[in-house]
Structure 1
Amino acid sequence: MEDHLGQVFERNFGGRDVERVREYRVHKNKEEAMLKLNHPNIVKHFRCGNDDDYIFYKLEPCVASLDQLFLDPNDPKKYIGPMPHHIDALLQLALGLEHIHSKNLVHGDIQPENVLISVESAGKDETTLKWAKFELTRNVSERGKGKTHQLGGNNAWLAPELLSLEPNSNVKENNYNEAAKSDIFSLGLVFGSLFLNGEHLYGSMENENEISQNIIKGNPINMQNLDSILEIDGKLRDCYENDLLKKMLENDPGKRMTSTQVVSQLKAIKEKIAGKEKELLELCGRDNRLDLTEKIKKLIQFGINLNAKDDGGRNALHLMCRNYSSPKLTDAIQLLIENKTDVNAKDNDGLNGIHFLCRYHSSQNLIKAIQILIQFGIKVIATTNDGSNALHYLCRYNASPNLTDATKIFTKLGLDLMTEDNDGWSAFYYLQNKDKKEMKIWFDRVAILGQGAFGTVSKGKFGGREVAVKRVELRHVDKREEEAMLKLEHPNIVKLLHFEKDNDFMYYALELCVASLDQLFLESDNPKKYEGPIPRQIKVFSQLAKGLEYIHSKKLIHRDIKPCNILIMKSPGKNEEIIIKWSDFGMAKSVNEKGLHSWSGVRGTRTWYAPEVLEKLINGEKAEQEEFWGTVQSDVFVLGLVFGYLFLKGEHLYGSSETEIHKNIIEKNPVNMQKINGELRKYYEDDLLMKMLEHDPKKRITSKEVVEQLESINNKQQPNRKFVQSSSLKKKKNCVDYVPVTLRLV
């Protein structure tokens, strides 16, 4: 690449581009701009050094410029790689320009060739547009007016107030009105070019003079072409309401939008489009035997991103191949792919469309659907995260009468029936065992996570995802646990995904968690110690309280609250949110309308009792002496013990030995309360902890009230939270939400 200042050489400095510029012709404007600008939508420049003739700049690597997107297909310089969705492309450009303007700068040379395309600089599969070329960048006053400067830039991309001036004239501040607004006009021209696939809104790119004259006259002759694109049944036009482009292309700069207003309107448009994307995912995510093609067409008309994904990384094509049982399945698949759905996109577990099809579809049109996906270029040999290919899924799960024909298609394309997945099983093995009782849950007998009196918990798989598998001998199966877990559906309760049995055991597939709460405080040399991130204490408390409130709302009492039954889970996806979850409902029991439960012997772990339960245990009272004893409030007391355990980094509030703990609970003496940091006690002891540890269950706070008081405490802690973020932890990303377990949690 060469311009009037110098040349850009690719991969000439540690694998990055280097721009070489003759030193005596360097624009000081450019250097000043580069030092001021730091934004994901602006190309980063790094001064590398100089020799006798040149100054060298190291540039952030980009793959192409925007004008290369619209070159002739036969041109070797044409860019054919990924691009952001149209609303994301527009918003990225607007955000970059807004940043430039926020630094009291104007770009001054906005045109497609000065917009660069960067792939994966913002993350895997992410494409980012970035502003480049700051030779004409200049300072503007706070009122948005430019300093004296000689005009430059391509005339096809200049605002009318600049084109009306004599060529090469000097522009004084007093008649250079709203300098930053000139950038907005040029940005509107770039937006139009994107919508028109490289065509200019004001004329033919072969006739720059025609474009300039039409800009001055306010005559966008190709706007009707743009109108027809945006007008698709009026749907996309609805999103771009209030004529965003026309406001940007207003001939009077005083009436023209600012970059901040452009960003604001584009964000509103993005939000509206995102709502339609969610609607599409919900539509494709439900089993439906009706023809959905017309509904999908109407949603496509809003200009939505057909590659938008749900939390599991599934796009509309994945969900369609999984759920849609209509004979119109093939029409719907074709419609999505023809409208730019990525046929090879994978979800969080590595499944593409053909994996979902082979896993879930046994309908008569299975063969045609497979053929359409192959026709549109799906990678048949692609494997999922567990090493399974389409043939594994077909032979393991599919009961279609077309199974043999489907198998032939895959083997002809190079898949081998004897290829093994990560578990060492081939498609042929799955095929051989099809007539046997199929177990949908698989577990690793060696990878044991925990062991109890009646069963073990191991790592396993269910439906392609990693799970925890609890295996219990049939004679020891507790129906209460099944019933409780089937009742409970809450983000802070471990989810039961599936259960099944063979001749000897019951198997429960549960959400896989990384550790239990007690593993936080193991010795540092213990291999089971949890060293990962944990939410702030107030967030942990809130999650536990909300989960317990939900359990109580379902007329259940947990009865076995203790740190080892509280699990830490990393949610799937990019962000890996840490979630605290209740588990182990083997002792859960229904309660009556007063929150009381019938008793058949004291249950639970001996150091995690409420006083009303402990007294009956010590006195040796039998269940028949009272019809009901123990309440949902018993859970609240033990939750208070867990809160204290966290404050004290693994110590018990009421002592160290079982005997001491029992004695102190009965005597209302939380001996270790004073060890809690005084600032924290100010928030918790009077306001919450002592209310949870109230001896009389009738006076004790409820789980719902615990949730409400935690919200109040969180609000009081906000100033302290800001202080922590802005001082000792400000260099740590996301330090407000997660900290290492070795730090005291605020």
Structure 2
Amino acid sequence: MEEGLRHVFKGELRGRHVETIRIEKHRVKIKEEADLLKLDHPNILRLVPCGNDNDYMYFALELCVGSLNQLFLISDDAQKYSGSMPHHIDALLQLASGLEYIHSKNLVHGNIKPENVLISMGSAGQDETTLKWANFGLTRNIDELGRGRTSPVRENKAWLAPELLSLKLNSTADKREYQETIQSDIFAQGLVFASLLLKGEHLYGSINHENQIPDNIIGRNAINMQKIDGKLRDLYENDLLKKMLKNDPKERMTSTEVVDQLTSIKTQLIEKERELLKLCGSDSRLDVTEKIKNLIQFGINLNAKDNGGRNALHLLCRYYSSSKLSAAIKLVIEGGINVNARDPDGLNAIHSLCRYHSSQNLIDSIQILIQSGIDTTAKTNDGSTTLHYLCRYNSSPHIIDAVEILTKLEVNLMEKDGSGRSAFYYSHFKDTEMKISFDRKKQIGRGSFSVVFKGMFKGREVAVKRVEIHHVDGREEEPMLKLHHRNIVRLLHCEKDDDFRYYALELCVASLDQLFLKSDNPKKYDGPMPRQIVVFSQLAKGLAYIHSERLIHREIKPSNILIMQCPGKYQEIIIKWSDFGLSKSVNEKGLHSWTGVRGTRTWYAPEVLKKLINGKKAEQEEFWGTVQSDVFVLGLVFGYLFLMGEHLYGSSETEIHKNIIKKKPVNMQKIDEKLHKYYEDDLLMKMLEHDPKKRITSKEVVEQLESINNKVILCIMS
């Protein structure tokens, strides 16, 4: 296919919006076209044949929302792209991965420039922005030396490697012998990378004076390098850009080396992002603004989230109690953080501020968020507005001023939340609503020393767990109060009387074991469930969060995994960990000394089971389990779901114990063959590794599931 000899139309293919390209038949070279049709990568615009007639061939391309050159047009240009973009490291890594894939297929792109990088929304998931290489009009097969013969050098010389420019400027060169190598692509990609970092400027000159650029490229004069922000230059110039922009093609990086280098840079940035989240999430009265400023200069992704789904702004508004709160909020907003980002419970930063912050900075901080464009009328998952959060939870003396500011912005004081209560109601009657109430006739669960009832707390339906007072260990409440994650049952409140301790917990509709009860059992759960991969991902994310808080669950089993149906129009199903009565803190190695093996006898890791079978007594200095013990039992739960309620290692307690010790998951072969393909070798066996030190971590389980989910999506699409 030659550039300029095709026509592009908008159209539909199987109900999806696409671009349709019409190409004259005699312009299509069959072998090269066949190779292009095989390209299948998330960062390459896919070409799909969709028909032909006597004169033309028609191809469909997914519809994109813009191209990279449109990103930096002036604000009043109708062609300007103003939508979302990936963070710079992710943008570069996406492009590098796409080009590496092209080269792995023995192809040269041959036409790398910003207008040939297209921006796609939603192709990699809802609200996900993906960059895709496009316009393969000059793409050609390469020989064993990595060279591809193509048409004469293009008129636009600003995006050419020096070896091609030298050929172009040499009037005696034989254009028929023009050859472009994969290393020429690398140089051009380096120019595109620099353009992104320079916000649209060319590294070697001004786009408005393109004639200067070729001379500067040949003369190795990257005149705009110093304009790249200092910390970004430290990250990219020496480690990447200079290696991509070597004038000698033989000294230039390969596309695989570019991907590896960017992956290394991303690892560095992730560490800095974690440092920022930890800093913003600490209840500190110290001035941390200078530290925040230094971290932002590294070019980190300020929209990165912690395990609880909160970004730095959420965390500042929730935890930071210094008088410098307003200054810290300004810093992250000026750094480009998304002020309207939501956490898994639907809270944006102003919700968090109104709920948790009560210092003299409350008003200043609210005003800064409002000036930055935060949506003050946004509702959380339980239907609460900022005023609900302010009036329901906050006892600040500044609450009246805050209410006045928000009501002037048309936040309705009388609007009702999911419990049917208005902010006005909470502001006048919350003190009388603080106690837990329950109906003793509505028992929904029972344990050795506890009973669970359906009840109410602050106008909301809850599960009320009543525990005999002499069996309550105050230390066991700490993990429940500490944990705040979408996939963990929240403890909303606790109180006591002379005989019992009462816990108000999120109300769920069933536990996981109720899925597999007999059809005539009144306790059987027949309601909706997410796809299996979604259930696994939610469980893994919840457990990884527990472990990140230096806790072991210790009581993992299907009956302690609850199914919650969110109120509202769509009634989303969320899977939640519950029953942290056995959770304990761990040391920096993820270990904890137990006073004896506890938990349910068929849901043990082998290292714990061996000690139980041997009747070994625990000593204070001896570790009976680690966070890795939780991971093994999570693998048992995954197997239980695959097997529709059967245990991977057998049916009776004795059989299960014997088979766990002997490493014999006897029911593994019952798992559907397709599921085997995705899970057994790649994940289950890593979770069920006998040696805890070699066992996959909960964080790695989350990452592996994301990879599996991508495979499943590709399988469905194909």
Counterparts of 1:571 and 1:292 in 2: how far apart (Å)?
40
Residue equivalent to 2:495: 501
1:309-708 superposed matches below 5 A: 309-436=305-432, 438-439=434-435, 449-450=444-445, 455-458=451-454, 469-472=463-466, 477-483=468-474, 485-486=476-477, 497=491, 499-501=493-495, 506-509=501-504, 516=511, 518-519=513-514, 521-524=516-519, 526=521, 528-529=523-524, 566-567=560-561, 673=655, 684=660, 686=662
Residue equivalent to 2:46: 44
What is the SS of the residue equivalent to 1:40?
A: coil
1:283 aligns with 2:279: yes
What is the SS of the residue equivalent to 1:67?
A: helix
Q: CA deviation at 1:471?
A: 3.3
* Pair 269,520 (structure 1): closer, same or farther in 2 beyond 3 Å: same
Residues 636, 647 of structure 2: 8 Å contact kept: no
Residues 140, 150 of structure 2: 8 Å contact kept: no
Residue equivalent to 1:9: 9
1:56 aligns with 2:58: yes
Residues 464, 503 of structure 2: 8 Å contact kept: yes
Q: C-alpha deviations, 1:498-526, integer Å up to 9, x for none?
A: 64226697432457777546435411465
Residues 36, 103 of structure 1: 8 Å contact kept: no
1:16-95 superposed matches below 5 A: 16-28=17-29, 31-95=33-97
Q: CA deviation at 1:87?
A: 0.8
What is the SS of the residue equivalent to 1:408?
A: helix
* Pair 148,85 (structure 1): closer, same or farther in 2 beyond 3 Å: closer
Counterparts of 2:278 and 2:204 in 1: how far apart (Å)?
41
Counterparts of 2:101 and 2:461 in 1: how far apart (Å)?
45
Residue equivalent to 1:550: none
* Pair 651,181 (structure 1): closer, same or farther in 2 beyond 3 Å: closer
Q: CA deviation at 1:596?
A: 10
Q: C-alpha deviations, 1:676-711, integer Å up to 9, x for none?
A: 9xxx97x54756899xxxxxxxxxxxxxxxx99963
Quick one: which amino acid aligns to residue 23 of structure 2?
A: R
Residue equivalent to 1:141: 143
Tell which deviates more after alignment, 443-452 or 101-110: 443-452
Quick one: which amino acid aligns to residue 134 of structure 1?
A: F
Residue equivalent to 1:164: 166
Counterparts of 1:180 and 1:708 in 2: how far apart (Å)?
38
Counterparts of 2:438 and 2:131 in 1: how far apart (Å)?
45
Quick one: which amino acid aligns to residue 25 of structure 2?
A: Y
Residues 192, 201 of structure 1: 8 Å contact kept: yes
Q: CA deviation at 1:109?
A: 0.2
Larger radius of gyration: 1
Counterparts of 2:554 and 2:98 in 1: how far apart (Å)?
54
TM-score if structure 1 supplies the norm length? 0.71
Residues 44, 60 of structure 1: 8 Å contact kept: yes
Q: CA deviation at 1:652?
A: 11
Quick one: which amino acid aligns to residue 64 of structure 2?
A: C
What is the SS of the residue equivalent to 2:430?
A: coil
* Pair 496,114 (structure 1): closer, same or farther in 2 beyond 3 Å: closer
1:114 to 110, 113, 116: 116
Residues 9, 20 of structure 1: 8 Å contact kept: yes
Counterparts of 1:376 and 1:92 in 2: how far apart (Å)?
30
1:215-364 superposed matches below 5 A: 215-226=217-228, 229=229, 231=230, 235-240=231-236, 242-364=238-360
* Pair 51,176 (structure 1): closer, same or farther in 2 beyond 3 Å: closer
Q: C-alpha deviations, 1:515-568, integer Å up to 9, x for none?
A: 546435411465744686779xx99xx99x99xxxxxx99x999xx9x775436
What is the SS of the residue equivalent to 2:158?
A: helix
Quick one: which amino acid aligns to residue 129 of structure 1?
A: L
Q: C-alpha deviations, 1:333-364, integer Å up to 9, x for none?
A: 11111111111111111101110111011111
Counterparts of 2:65 and 2:152 in 1: how far apart (Å)?
31
* Pair 7,471 (structure 1): closer, same or farther in 2 beyond 3 Å: same
Residues 463, 504 of structure 2: 8 Å contact kept: yes
Q: CA deviation at 1:92?
A: 0.7
Q: C-alpha deviations, 1:301-349, integer Å up to 9, x for none?
A: 1001111111222111111111111222111111111111111111111
* Pair 596,327 (structure 1): closer, same or farther in 2 beyond 3 Å: closer
Counterparts of 1:396 and 1:580 in 2: how far apart (Å)?
26
Q: CA deviation at 1:34?
A: 2.7
Q: CA deviation at 1:379?
A: 0.7
* Pair 300,714 (structure 1): closer, same or farther in 2 beyond 3 Å: closer
Q: C-alpha deviations, 1:567-606, integer Å up to 9, x for none?
A: 367999xxx99787766669xxxxx998599xxxxx999x
What is the SS of the residue equivalent to 1:336?
A: helix
Quick one: which amino acid aligns to residue 494 of structure 2?
A: E
Quick one: which amino acid aligns to residue 20 of structure 1?
A: I
Q: Identical aligned pairs, as a percentage?
A: 51
* Pair 454,87 (structure 1): closer, same or farther in 2 beyond 3 Å: closer
1:712 aligns with 2:685: no
Residues 66, 81 of structure 2: 8 Å contact kept: yes
Residue equivalent to 1:617: none
Residues 595, 618 of structure 2: 8 Å contact kept: no
* Pair 252,194 (structure 1): closer, same or farther in 2 beyond 3 Å: same
Quick one: which amino acid aligns to residue 290 of structure 2?
A: E
Counterparts of 2:86 and 2:687 in 1: how far apart (Å)?
44
Residues 492, 506 of structure 2: 8 Å contact kept: no
Q: C-alpha deviations, 1:89-133, integer Å up to 9, x for none?
A: 111110110010010001000000000011222122311111000
Residue equivalent to 2:629: none
Counterparts of 1:316 and 1:114 in 2: how far apart (Å)?
34
* Pair 224,19 (structure 1): closer, same or farther in 2 beyond 3 Å: same
Q: C-alpha deviations, 1:618-647, integer Å up to 9, x for none?
A: xxxxxxxxxxx99789x99xx99x989979
What is the SS of the residue equivalent to 1:17?
A: strand
* Pair 480,91 (structure 1): closer, same or farther in 2 beyond 3 Å: same
* Pair 164,514 (structure 1): closer, same or farther in 2 beyond 3 Å: farther
Q: CA deviation at 1:207?
A: 2.5
What is the SS of the residue equivalent to 2:9?
A: strand
What is the SS of the residue equivalent to 1:84?
A: coil
Residues 494, 582 of structure 1: 8 Å contact kept: no
For structure 1, the residue ranges without an aligned partner over 5 or more in a row are: 547-552, 587-591, 598-602, 609-628, 691-706, 719-730, 737-746
- Superposed CA RMSD in Å reads 5.2
Residues 287, 322 of structure 2: 8 Å contact kept: yes
Residues 157, 189 of structure 1: 8 Å contact kept: yes
Residue equivalent to 1:98: 100
Q: C-alpha deviations, 1:208-249, integer Å up to 9, x for none?
A: 2221222222222222323xx2x2xxx334433634111111
Counterparts of 1:51 and 1:262 in 2: how far apart (Å)?
42
Counterparts of 1:467 and 1:425 in 2: how far apart (Å)?
13
Counterparts of 2:77 and 2:663 in 1: how far apart (Å)?
72
Aligned residue pairs: how many? 623
Counterparts of 2:114 and 2:344 in 1: how far apart (Å)?
35
Residues 494, 510 of structure 1: 8 Å contact kept: no
TM-score if structure 2 supplies the norm length? 0.73
Q: C-alpha deviations, 1:385-409, integer Å up to 9, x for none?
A: 1100000001111111121111111
